[in-house]
Amino acid sequence: MQLEEPLRRRRRLSLTPLIDVVFILLIFFMLASTFTTEQILTVEAPGERVSAPSEESPALLRVQVAGSGFIIDETPLSGTEVRERLERFAAEEDEPRLQIVAHADAPVQPIVQVIDWSAALGLDDVALLRQEAP
């Protein structure tokens, strides 16, 4: 007489604990992550009268941001050259003033780069001017 072993049925796995763990992880990552970083950029508008620089006023460096790149003293420069120039300017002068002149065709990113570089160097007196197209 041959005895056959009864077929063992597979036990179905319950997905409820797995779903609970997935939801807990989802909630954790939603609460722990930051999707956007917001930064505040304060811009102070000049008063009604802006005086021309005098002999006693601090040193002034004018960085022009055009569609083609950066210009200092009528010389086109790359981003690294502008940053080096800003570093030298901040190190050499006691009360350095920086003017960023944005041409009408200038993209926003290079303007923000110059502002970031000046903030990293500790330049406090920074003016942002817009130059209209001729």
What domains sit in the chain, N to C, each tagged with a CATH number?
60-131 (3.30.420)
pLDDT value at residue 134: 60
Tell me the Ramachandran region of residue 44: left when phi exceeds 0, alpha when psi lies from -120 to 50, beta otherwise.
beta
pLDDT value at residue 50: 47
pLDDT value at residue 48: 46
Q: How confident is the model at residue 121 (pLDDT cuts 50, 70, 90)?
A: confident
Is the pLDDT at 133 greater than 60, yes or no?
Answer: yes
Lowest mean pLDDT among 2-6, 59-63, 93-97, 103-107: 2-6
Q: What is the pLDDT of residues 99-109, one digit of tens each?
A: 898 888 888 88
Cα distance between residue 134 and residue 121, in whole Å: 33
Q: What is the pLDDT of residues 10-59, one digit of tens each?
A: 777 788 889 999 999 999 998 888 777 777 666 665 554 445 555 555 68
